[in-house]
Structure 1
C-alpha cells in the first residue's frame, strides 16, 4: 500500500491499495460484459432440490429454493472472509483490513436493524454490490463491488433473502481509521467515474456452457481479478493483463492465465482438486488462498469446480509444461564451478533444515509436508512468495477431508540473507526448474 501524499495522484494511488485490501480475501478472474440475461444464463446450472410434487412450484417451495440458492451464493462469493471474525458471530463484521495509511473493518451484514442491514431492501443490497453505494453512503472499494457488479439481480436477491434469515447480531460497526485525505469518501466517486467497469478481457478462450458458467463464478462471485489482475497507476484493473498476477503486499498473487498455470504444471483436474481440498500435486494453499478454500471454494459443486477450471484454462487447454530441473552441477550464470558451489551449499542447507519434513529429495511426507518437486511456488518466475515462506514459515493447516499439514517454522532468525538465497536457489533450480537468481539483497528487502 502507498504512503500518504498531499497530491491528488497519491490519493488515487491510495484508493488503488484500498481495492487491493479486499483482494487478499479471495480467488480468480474477470470476463465479459455486464448483460443481466447473460449473467442469469451463466448462473442457471444451479439446481434446487427436486420437489416430490408435480406441477407449478408453490410459493413456499420457491422461497425455499431461493434460500438454498442464496446460501450457496454467499459461500461462493466468500462473504465470510471479510464479514466474520475468527471468534465472532457469523457475518457480524469486524475483520481487520490493515494498510499503512489506515485500517478498514468488515461491516455487519446480519439482519440487525441498528448495526446490520436489517433496514435494507433487496434493491439496496443490489445497489451496494452493483454500484458500491449503500443507503448510508459511498462504499470504499475494499468491498469488491468492482467484481460483484457482474452479479445478476436474481442472485443478489437470493443472497439478500438468505442473509435476512440469519441471526441478527447487535455488533456495532467500527469506523475505518484513515488519515486525511483518505478519510474523504466522496473521492471514491471520482475513481468510480473513471474506472468502474463491468468487464475485463478474458485470459482464456471458450464458448462452452462450462466456460461461461466458470466465467460467472470466477469474475462475479469469486472476484479473483481483485487479487490476480495487475493494477494501473490509479488502481484500475489493467485490461491488457487479466489474471497475470499482482503483488498483494507480503505475498504475491500468481499468474493464473492459461499460460501461467500450465507453466507451473497445472491441469484442469488438479485445479478442481485444489479448489475442493486445498491440496494438489503442485502443493497446498497458504496465506489468503487457504482462506478462500476454507471459507468458499470447498463448498462449490463438482459441476462448478469443473466450470471454474474450464474457464481458467479455456475450452482447449494448453498442455502443461513438464518440470525441467537442474542438477547440483548445472550452470546458472555461466560460471559452472561457482554455480555448483552455490547449489551444493543450498543442498546442505536443505538437508539441515528442510529434509526432515519435506524428504531428502523433496518427496514430502503425508499429513506432514507437501512434496517440493514441482511445487507451484518454486515454479513461479518471481521468487517473492518462496522468499516470504522461507522467512515467515507457514502455520499448521487443516484441509477439507480431514487432511492436515504441520506448521513450517520460518528461518528468518536462523539463516542469514546469503544462506536463504542459497537455499532458495537450490529449491528453484533443482525442484522448480527456475533460474537460481535469488540474491541476498532480495531476501533482505523482504525481511
Structure 2
C-alpha cells in the first residue's frame, strides 16, 4: 500500500489533526506486507495508534466492537471475504464514520468511480491512489483531515439554516452580498474577469453557505429577487471599477428556476441598460442540469440574453449526461470545465484525456474555455499546455468583496505579479 522507496524523509508531519493521534488510523488490506509498510509510514509520521485488518469483514467487526471509530481508514479495494466497495457501503450507514483514504492496484478510472461513490454516500474522502501510495501523497491526505473535519457538520448546518422570514429580510436590506473571484487569461496571465458569488453573513457574524439559502430562495419563488439584488450590486461595482479605469467582465450564475421566470430577462436587460454597462461585459453561467428543467423557457431566456449581447456559459461542463447535445442546441459563448476534471489531471492520464477533449471541443466550436478550481501549479501548467483560455481557483485568487478587488489588483501589480495588469476597453 505504501512505497517506502522514496527520497522523502519520513519524519513526523506537522499540524496533523489531534484526532489522528488520539483515535488513530485503521489499515485494511489483505497484504501483510502492505499493512506493515503503511504501519511503518504512519508511525514515522507520529501516529502511534494504528489498527490493522486483513479484510473488510474483520475491519467492520472491529469497528462494531469499539465505542469510537478511528479517525481515518486506509482502505484497499481488492480483498477476499469482503471487498473495499462493500466496506464503504457499510460504513456509510454508521452515525460516526471514519474519513477514508482509498488504495488500489486497479486502473485509475475504477478508483475514481469508487471515490465518487464514497463521496456520494456522505463519506469524507481524503484521497484515492493507485498502489503503492507515495509517502508524500499520504502525508498530504492526512494533513487535509483537519480541513475535512472543519467543514460544518449536520448540526452546525441546521443551526445556520435561515428561515423564510430571515431570507426576505436579508433581501429587503441587501444583506446578501457579492464577492468576486478573479479569472486569469492563461496566455497573458492578466485578469480576464471575475465570477460573482453570493455571500451572506447573519446577525451573529456566521457565514451562511449558499447551499442553504439558494434552495430556500428557489423553493419560495425568491430566486429572481435574489438574482436581481445581486445584479444591482454587481452593476454598481462595475461602474466604480470603470471610474478607476478597470473594465472587468463579470460572470453571474443563473439558477434553473430563474430561467423559468418569464419576465426575468426583461428585468436584467432593463437594469443593465439603465446602468450603462455594455452587455458583452456580463456573462451568465448556467449549469447543465438547469437546461433540462424547462427546456422551452430555458431556450427563450438564454436566447433573449444572447440576442442582447450577453455571454452565456455552460457551467460545470462534463458533469451532465448530454453535454454535446446541449452545446448544439444552446447559443453558448463559453464552456466552463468542472473542477472534478482539473483536480488530479497532472497525475492521471484518463483525466488529462477528458480535460483535453473538453478544451478541444471549445476550440472547435470557437467558444472560450474556462477551468475552475485550479489549486496547484501543476494543474495551471497543464491547462496552459492544453490551450485552455482562462482559469480560476484558490491558487490564483480567493473570492473577495468588490471594494477590495481594485486594491488586490494594485497590490499584485506592486509585487510584479504578471496577472495584475490593468484592463482596458480593448481587452
Normalising by the smaller structure, the TM-score range is under 0.3
- Tell me the TM-score normalized by structure 2: 0.24
**Structure of greater Rg:** 2
Structure having the larger proportion of residues in helix: 2
Q: Please report the TM-score for the alignment, with normalisation by the length of structure 1.
A: 0.23
Higher strand share: 2
